[in-house]
Structure 1
Amino acid sequence: MDHRTKRRREEETGVLPLVSENGGFNGESGFDGVDLSLLEAVESSHNGGVEVLDLRAMKKLVLSFERRLRDNLETRMKYPEQPDKFADSEVELHEEIERLKILAGGPELYPELVALNTVPSIVDLLGHDNIDIAIDVVGLLMDLTDEDVLEDNDEPARILVDALIENNALELLVQNISRLSESDPDETAAIYNTLATVENMIEVKPAVAELVCERTKLLRWLLGRIKIREFDGNKQYASEILAILLQNSTANQKRLGQMNGVDGVLQAVAMYKSRDPKSSDEEEMLENLFDCLCCLLMPVENKERFIKSEGVELMIIIMKQKKSAYGSAIRALDFAMTKYPPACERFVDVLGLKTAFAAFMAGITRGSRRERLLSKFVENECEKIDRLMELYSRYSDRVKNETERLNKLELDDLEMDEEEQYNRKLEAGLYTLQLIAVILGHLWSSEHQQMRGRIELLLRQQRLTKEDVKDVLLEYHDNIGDVDGPEDKERAQTRIQRFIAALSDL
C-alpha cells in the first residue's frame, strides 16, 4: 500500500562554486576530528568556477560547516547571557546547514560523509537551543534521506541511516517534536519534515519501524495527534506514519494496544460516524485510521480491548449511517471477529445481523445465535440465497474463463507451474467463489428444507449442480495452509469435509 503524501521539497540552493586545485585532509586536526586547516587554503584559492559535486566539494562543505559550528558553540559558551554576541554566528551556521542540502545531489558520497564523522555534529544540532537551527537540521535530514534521492543507492543509504541511528537521531527527532508549536508555520512544517525523515529511514531500513517505537515516544505522540478534532496536513501524515508503524509489526500493535491505543483510534474514527470527509486528503486520512484499526485488531488482546471500548457498536453505527466509512467499518468488524468468538457473539447480541445483511456479511456459527443467522436466509422468500447464488454464478464464470485462458496458454508452451496457475485463478475470483461455496456448505449442512430447496432450484436454473459446489470446496480444502498452525488447519479442513459430506447426501 503507498499512502506517501510528502510536500514538495524546497528548491535547492544552487550549485556550489568549487576550487580547481588539489586538496586533502592534511595538517592540523580541527573540530570533532575534521581538518580545518584546509578551509583557508580552499577559500583563498577559490576562483568562482562551478563544478559538479564530488569528494573534494563535499570535504569543502563539511569543513565550512564544522568551522561555523565550532564558532557558534564557542561564542555561545563565552557569552551565554548575551544573544547579540552569538546571533551572527547562528545566521552563518544556518547558511552552512542550508548549503549541506547540496549533498542530497550525491548520495553515492554518503559513506565518505559518514567516514568524516560529520553525522554526530549534524544530529547533535537537533537539540540546539535555537529552535530555528534544529528546524534547519530536520529539513537537511529529510532531504538527505528522501526516497527520490536514495533510489538506486541502497548501500550508501543504509550506511547513512545506520550512522543516524547510532548517533541517536531517532530519539532527538522525536524529542524535538515536543519543542515545536503548530501555531507557527515554520514549526508546523518541521513537524511534517520530522515525520517524513522517520518514514524515509523506515524505507531504507524497515527495522527502524520497531526501533523508533522502542526508543522513543513517537507512538504516543501520533496517537495524541490523530485524536485532535481539526483536520490538517500533519494529522493526515500522523495517521499515515502510524499505519506504517503498525502494518508489519506485532510488537508495535501490542505496544500501542497497551497505551489504550485501540480506544484512541476508535475516538479518531468516531468523528466520522455520521459525516463524510470534506476533501480527498481527509478521506485518505480516514482510510489510514481504519488501516491502523485493522492492524491493531491482529493480536487477540486488542480484539478484547475493541469489545470493551464498544468498537463493535461503533462499527454498526457507521454502517447504519452509510457514509463513506461504511466499507471500512465492515472490514474492521471482519478483523475483530476473525477467530475470536466473543466479538462474533457481541455482534449478534447488539443486533448487528440486520445491519450486516444489508451488506451481505455474516460469520457466526454457535448456539441460538446460529439460528438467528440462518433465519436471515429465509426472510422475504430466501432473497439472500438468491443474491448468494447470483454471486456464485458470476464468480464461477470468471474462474471458468480464467481456467480456459490458462489452459490455452499452456498449449502455447508457456511454462507455468500448478502453484502459479492456482494463484492466477485466485486473483480472477476463485477465493471469493470458495468463500461463497463455504457459506452454501453452512446453509446446506443446516438441513433446513426450505433453504436446500431454494439452493437446488437456483443451481438447476444456472445449469450447475451440487457436484460443482463440492469441487470448489474440495479445491479449497486441499489448499488450506498452516500459517496459523497445524491444529487450525486440521479444524478448517474437518469443517470443509463436513460440508462436502452434507452435499453428497441424497
Structure 2
Amino acid sequence: MSTKRRRDYYDEDDNNGEEYENDAVFANGSKSQKVEVDLSLLEALEKSQSQNKNAVEVVDLKTLKKLVLSFERKLKDNIEARLKYPNQPDRFADSEIDLHDDLHKLSILAGAPELYPDLVNLNAIPSILNLLAHDNTDIAVDVVQLLQDLTDPDVFEDDEESDEPARVLVDALVENNVLELLVQNLQRLNDSDPDEMAAVYSTLTTVENLVEVKPAVAEMVCERTKLLKWLLGKIKVREFDSNKQYASEILAILLQNSAANQRRVGQMNGVDVVLQAVAMYKSKDPKSLDEEEMVENLFDCLCCLLMPLENKERFVKAEGVELMIIIMKQKKSAYSSAIRALDFAMTKYPPACERFVDVLGLKTAFAAFMGKIPVNKKNKKERYQEELEERIVSLIASLFGGILRGSRRERLLSKFVENECEKIDRLMELYMRYSDRVKTETERLNHLELDDLEMDEEEKYNRKLESGLYTLQLIAVILGHIWCSEHPYMRARIELLLKQQKLTNKDVKDILQEYHDNIGDLDGPEEKERAQAKIQKFISAF
C-alpha cells in the first residue's frame, strides 16, 4: 500500500471528505504526530503482510470458516470505530488496516474454487459487496481486487462440472447487486491517479470475468447500470492509456452477441462517438501495439453497432461512409478495418450503397479489389491478404445487392468493362483460387469419412464455408449480376475465361445452386424466399 493511499485514511472527515487545511490534523496532536502514526501503521502493515506470505495454509472448509469469521469481526470493529469516532480518522485507522489485511487473506480462496458454494452459504457475499461503497476508496479497491481474483477464468477448468462453483458464486454476486456497486465505484474513481487507475482496470477485468462465466451479465450490466455511458465517455478522450484500451475491449465484448446492447448504444449516440474515436486515426498510425489493439477494438465495436438497421442509418447520417473512404485513401493501418466497416454498413442496406457510389467510393474500392493495397509489416502476412480479399469481395457483392437500377448501377457495371475487362479477369482469378481450395477441402473431408469419422452434411458444409466456399459463392453471385446485365462484351469475357480453365457455365450454376439450397431463414421466411428467388434468377440466366 502506497504512502498516498495510507494518507487517505486521515484525509476524511464528515465534511464531504475534504482534506484538512491546517497542521492541526488531530484533535490532540500535531502534523508531526500524524506522520509518526502513519509510519508506524506502515511498519505494522508491512510486517503483517510479510507474515502472511510466509504462512501457507491448507485451503479447506475449516480454513474458509476461519477466514470468514475473522473478516466479519474486522468489519464489525471498523463499523463501530467509524461510528464512535467519525471525526477522528486516527481512531479508526487501525481497524481499516485490519480490514484491508483480511480482504487480502480471502483471496486465497481463488486456489480452491470448489469452496465457492460454501462461501455463498456462509452469507459472506453481502458483507464483502457492501464494502464497495465504503467511505475509504482503498477498501473498495481491495474488494474489487478480491472479486477479480475469485472470478479469474484461469481459476476454473474447462469442463462443465468444474464451472458449476463459478456459476454459483457469480449468481450470488449478481443477486447482491455486484454490477450496480462495481459501476458506482467505477464512477467515483479518479482515473488520473495511478492507484485508482489500477482499480479501474481491475473493475473492468471483473466485469469481463463475470460475463465469461455468465454471458447474460453482458445485457444485465447495461440494463441496470451506467457502464455504457462510462465506456463511451472513456473512448472519447483523445489521450491514449491502458484503461482507454480496456474500455474499448469491454465495449466490444458487451456489443458482440447482444442486439439489445447494439440498439442501446445506438440510442446513446454511440455510433457517432465510435466514429469520432476512429477518426483520430484516419491519417496517422497507432504509436504502439497496445494502441493498435485499441483501434481494432474500436472497429469491432463499430461493426457490431452496424448490425441493427437503425444504426446503419445513423452511420450514413454521421458521414461514416465518407470517413471510411478517407481512411482507405490515407492507406494507414486502419485500411482493412475501414473496408470491413463499410461491408457491414452496406450489407442489406441500399442507402449506404448509394451514398458510397455518390461520394466516389468505387475507385477506392476497386483499387483494393485489384490488389493495390498499402504495404507494411502487418499486411505482408498471407492471412491478412486473404481476409482483405474476402472482405472486398463481400463489399462488392453488397453493392450489387443494394444498387439494382439507374445510373449508379451503370457506374458499378462499367467498372468491369474498363481497361479491357481487367476486373472480370481478377474476378475469375479469385474464382479459380477459391474453387481449388474448396475442392481440396471437399476431398479431405471425404477421406475423413472413409476413416469412419462421423460428420453430418451440415458440419461438412460449414467446414467448406470456412475453407473459402462462402467467398466463392459471393464471387459466383457477382458473376450472376454481371451476366444478367446482358452486356455482350462482359459475357463473352466470362465465357472465354471459363473455357480457358476448362470450365462451363454449369460450374458456376452448381455453386449458385448449393448457395440457393443453403440460404437460411434467420431474417424470416419472406426474406429467405426473396434471396432464393434472386439466386434462382442467376441460375436460370446461366
> Above 0.5 in TM-score?
yes
Give the superposition deviation at 1:323: 1.1
Taking a change above 3 Å as real, the CA distance of residues 118 and 410 of structure 1, as seen in their structure-2 partners, is closer
Q: Secondary structure at the match of 2:188?
A: coil
- Counterparts of 1:194 and 1:51 in 2: how far apart (Å)? 28
- Counterparts of 1:411 and 1:291 in 2: how far apart (Å)? 41
Moved more, 224-233 or 185-194: 224-233
1:297-354 per-position Cα deviation (integer Å, ceiling 9, x unaligned): 1111111111111111111111111111111111111111111111111111111111
Give the superposition deviation at 1:358: 1.3
- Counterparts of 1:101 and 1:291 in 2: how far apart (Å)? 34
- Is 2:388 aligned against 1:382? no
TM alignment of 1:124-273, pairs within 5 A: 124-151=130-157, 153-273=162-282
Q: Counterpart in 2 of 1:59?
A: 65
- Counterparts of 2:56 and 2:357 in 1: how far apart (Å)? 73
Q: Secondary structure at the match of 1:484?
A: coil
Q: Counterpart in 2 of 1:334?
A: 343
Q: How many residues align?
A: 456
Relative to the length of structure 2, the TM-score reads: 0.82
- Is 2:276 aligned against 1:276? no
Give the superposition deviation at 1:55: 0.7
Q: Counterpart in 1 of 2:436?
A: 397
Moved more, 50-59 or 341-350: 50-59
Relative to the length of structure 1, the TM-score reads: 0.88
- Is 2:123 aligned against 1:84? no
- Is 2:113 aligned against 1:107? yes
Q: Counterpart in 2 of 1:474?
A: 513
- Counterparts of 2:446 and 2:60 in 1: how far apart (Å)? 56
- Counterparts of 1:49 and 1:192 in 2: how far apart (Å)? 29
- Counterparts of 1:336 and 1:311 in 2: how far apart (Å)? 9
Q: Counterpart in 1 of 2:44?
A: none
Structure 2 stretches of 5 or more lacking a match?
1-53, 370-391
Taking a change above 3 Å as real, the CA distance of residues 447 and 65 of structure 1, as seen in their structure-2 partners, is same
Moved more, 119-128 or 147-156: 147-156
- Counterparts of 2:99 and 2:452 in 1: how far apart (Å)? 67
Taking a change above 3 Å as real, the CA distance of residues 180 and 409 of structure 1, as seen in their structure-2 partners, is closer
- Counterparts of 1:430 and 1:307 in 2: how far apart (Å)? 31
Give the superposition deviation at 1:411: 4.1
Give the letter for the 1:419 counterpart.
Answer: E
- Counterparts of 1:413 and 1:79 in 2: how far apart (Å)? 77
Give the superposition deviation at 1:476: 1.1
- Counterparts of 2:310 and 2:460 in 1: how far apart (Å)? 38
Q: Counterpart in 1 of 2:26?
A: none
Q: Counterpart in 1 of 2:74?
A: 68
- Counterparts of 1:438 and 1:256 in 2: how far apart (Å)? 34
Q: Counterpart in 1 of 2:530?
A: 491
Give the superposition deviation at 1:418: 2.4
1:445-469 per-position Cα deviation (integer Å, ceiling 9, x unaligned): 1011111111111111111111111
Give the letter for the 2:122 counterpart.
Answer: L
Q: Secondary structure at the match of 1:359?
A: helix
Taking a change above 3 Å as real, the CA distance of residues 109 and 414 of structure 1, as seen in their structure-2 partners, is closer
TM alignment of 1:435-474, pairs within 5 A: 435-474=474-513
Give the letter for the 2:489 counterpart.
Answer: Q
Q: Counterpart in 2 of 1:423?
A: 462
Q: Counterpart in 2 of 1:14?
A: none
RMSD of aligned C-alpha atoms?
A: 1.4
Give the letter for the 1:77 counterpart.
Answer: L
Q: Secondary structure at the match of 1:272?
A: coil
Moved more, 149-158 or 485-494: 149-158
- Counterparts of 1:162 and 1:330 in 2: how far apart (Å)? 41
Q: Counterpart in 2 of 1:15?
A: none
- Counterparts of 2:348 and 2:442 in 1: how far apart (Å)? 32
Q: Which of 274, 295, 315 lines up with 2:324 in the alignment?
A: 315
Taking a change above 3 Å as real, the CA distance of residues 181 and 49 of structure 1, as seen in their structure-2 partners, is closer
Structure 1 stretches of 5 or more lacking a match?
1-47
- Counterparts of 1:196 and 1:224 in 2: how far apart (Å)? 18
- Counterparts of 2:319 and 2:459 in 1: how far apart (Å)? 42
1:435-494 per-position Cα deviation (integer Å, ceiling 9, x unaligned): 101100110110111111111111111111111111111111111111111111111111
Give the letter for the 1:225 counterpart.
Answer: K
Give the superposition deviation at 1:211: 0.6
Give the superposition deviation at 1:105: 1.3
1:109-134 per-position Cα deviation (integer Å, ceiling 9, x unaligned): 11111111111111010111111111
- Counterparts of 2:67 and 2:510 in 1: how far apart (Å)? 70
